[in-house]
Structure 1
Amino acid sequence: MSQNICFFVGNLNLAGGTERATTLIANGLATLDKNVFILNVYGGEQPFFPVNDVIHLHALFQQKVSMKKHALAAMWKIRQFVQQHQIQHFIVVDSISYVFAYPALLGLNIQQICWEHFSFDVDLGQRFRRFGRLLAAKYSDAVVTLTEHDRSQWQDNIASLQAKIVAIPNAVPFPIQATVPSQQHKTVLSIGRLRHEKGFDLLIQAWQQVHAQYPDWRLVIVGDGDEKSNLQQQVESLNLTNSIQLHAATADLSPCYAAASIYALSSRSEGFGLVLLEALAFGLPVVASRCIGPNEVLGSTENSLVEPDHVSQLAAALISTIALPLASYQQRVSDNKHHATQYLPEHILQQWLALFAVGKRS
């Protein structure tokens, strides 16, 4: 009998890494003949990233609501949903949502998994996320972190820990590409939500130094978010409008990577950095902040890691990567593609299947 697996997410219509990672694993499980459901808190009827047609999409609410005011309704709807669809494995995407999932699933014979997408020391000002982590640590069957570092943080810092803590990295969304990037594109690419923690303001500031040495290179930033107007103003104030382009988020990122020479990640904090895997699949040399995720993904490679919030280091790393001799550039391309193979979906899905096989803790 096929397993009934449900992912509980905020809103699959959004364009972030969490939504992309969830979609990728859900699609992969569906191809393995699992019966996959995605239950959105609200929305989700038009997923930003392609979803396999056999996946069942549902939502607790049709529009965004105050979860504090609708907490009891949300819990009741979750409980009804999992009972009606005979869910066996319930994956709560983001620990903040476990606050509502735990009471809803009390007494039910369902494996509860909390899939944490943020670093342990990051809560983005949401005290409910901290509370959700405490509940998940004590009452869920398993907590999935994206890095070994965060797995250790959970184990070392939560006294009430009862759940199994497992590190499963995100899967690379693209196959390893046959095409080879070129320095002749003279383009540095950066992708993500335009929010403060992503540090695009730092990248733009650093680009001022890069542009002074390499005026024929350009920086392309792809994404949407609260900081978009501020970033555009920053570009204009630094007289970089001819050198920096801001593009809207898109579900099809392949052309963006294919047209780039280097990838840059300037986050102030980053739990994993799914875009890094995408860049590696295309072979792009990478310059990234030494946050938890990038440090674990790139630490064993020759790519450049710089201290977060350090503009001069970021600029210097970009300049040195642009200046790589052709042979060194090509070697890094080859090494990056090879490094990305460990994150292919077929490897990551096996880790999820092994976790499902463990089932509920005794």
Structure 2
Amino acid sequence: MFSIGLVIHDFVFGGSERIAIRLANHWAQQGFSVVLFAGSERGEMRGLLDPQVRLVRAPSAISRTHFSMWQVAEKAAAYFRQHPVAACFVPGNYHWPVAYKLGCLPLEVRPVILTQISSPIYKPGRNAWAQKFFNIRMRFLLRNTDRLVALDRTTAAQADALFRRSVAEAIPLPALPASLPAPKAVESGNYAILAAGRLTHAKGFDLLLKAFASVARVYPAASLTVCGAGPDHQALLDQARSEGLQDQVTLTGYVADIGPYLDKARLFVLSSRREGYGAVILEALATGRQVITTACTPAADDFASHPEAVRVVPVEDADALAQAMITALAQPAPDAQGLADLVQPFSITCGGQMYLSLMSSLLCRRGAVKAVS
């Protein structure tokens, strides 16, 4: 048993933060001493943290700004210098400054650092100069990380090539609870479509509403529910009204658990322009719901051999998104249990244990461990 630290900016809904909280809870429930350092308690997910996890807040709450993650990283490093832990987990690209600051600590108090790569290294549409800058930034920020954790083998191989040595492990995203109820079958005549995420431009809900307008013309009984909060809430309401969809589109605001909404849905749609691994795809499949996604996430590649489970369309293509939904609704729903079986490796039990094993291995070899420079 050893002590584990994690760092997040705050508890505002986000995929990386949600996974960090889930891992912290799981490790604490296994008997490990777990400390979660947060720049602020602000956010919808504060209530998800298990009381067994020790929460440490920055001395003064840090609000999100362009450079605020560096402030959180500095405060977190100062805390862990005074209160050392054996290992520390950095949950994703947004939090990479934490890995840099922790890596600058004196060796006698520096924890073993595991840093997650939560988004693709090579994003479609990124120009050559932007990619060069990203590569330099990644090598600089993560040069003292003991091990990088990718969510798929392709990203792990890309990281190894970027650092010119073996620096990364592929661990499936631990996005699902240890146990889940049996998925409910989809009833015939169900045309309910679900989407979820923060209401921002990056999530492409404007494209989804445009596509859904075409679906509604073919299936007047179809409905669209979007779970999530964000700055685009009013703009999306206005768009739905302008499309004449106000009676078929519902924006729920933030919900802690989309499970009950998935149970009632026929389809789940991810319309993002850019995305990390897309944990919500795993949640949808775990409840036996077919997924349509844009090619915005590495998760789409992981299920390429199962088109009955996950259909992929180009990013920014509302027409293709609409046609995929129309085609799916015209066919019988896939077997719900079969879809759920596909995502068993993504449980917190599996992924959480793989993280612990990696930390333990690094701690045992600590005298010989070198940074990933």
TM-score, reference length from structure 2: 0.85
Counterparts of 1:1-362 in structure 2, within 5 Å, are: 2-11=1-10, 13-43=11-41, 47-48=45-46, 50-60=48-58, 61-64=60-63, 68=67, 77-106=75-104, 107-108=106-107, 109-121=110-122, 132-156=137-161, 158=162, 160=163, 164-174=167-177, 175-183=179-187, 184-301=189-306, 302-303=308-309, 304-325=311-332, 329-331=333-335, 333-359=336-362, 360=366, 361-362=369-370
Change (3 A) 1:75 1:239: closer
Change (3 A) 1:152 1:230: farther
Q: For the Cα contact (< 8 Å) 1:181–1:261, is it kept in 2? A: no
Tell me how far 1:252 sits from its aligned partner.
Answer: 2.5
Tell me how far 1:221 sits from its aligned partner.
Answer: 0.6
Change (3 A) 1:216 1:171: same
Instruction: Report the aligned-residue RMSD.
Output: 2.7
| Segments of 4+ moved more than 4 angstroms | 65-71, 73-76, 125-132, 160-163
Q: How many residues align?
A: 352
In 2: Cα distance, 1:278 partner to 1:188 partner: 15
Q: Which runs of 5+ in 2 are unaligned?
A: none
In 2: Cα distance, 1:285 partner to 1:70 partner: 36
Tell me how far 1:132 sits from its aligned partner.
Answer: 4.8
Tell me how far 1:268 sits from its aligned partner.
Answer: 1.5
Change (3 A) 1:137 1:172: closer
Tell me how far 1:216 sits from its aligned partner.
Answer: 0.5
Change (3 A) 1:324 1:46: closer
TM-score, reference length from structure 1: 0.88
CA deviation string 1:322-354 (max 9, x = no partner): 1113xxx242x2221110212122111121012
CA deviation string 1:260-303 (max 9, x = no partner): 11111111222211111111111001111123323234223223
Task: Tell me which moved more, 60-69 or 131-140.
Answer: 60-69
Tell me how far 1:75 sits from its aligned partner.
Answer: 5.8
Q: For the Cα contact (< 8 Å) 2:267–2:290, is it kept in 1? A: yes
Percent of aligned pairs with the same residue? 23
Give the aligned residue type for 2:149.
V
Task: Tell me which moved more, 22-31 or 112-121.
Answer: 112-121
Q: For the Cα contact (< 8 Å) 1:141–1:163, is it kept in 2? A: no
Tell me how far 1:248 sits from its aligned partner.
Answer: 0.3
Give the aligned residue type for 1:357.
S
Q: Which runs of 5+ in 1 are unaligned?
A: none
Change (3 A) 1:166 1:294: same
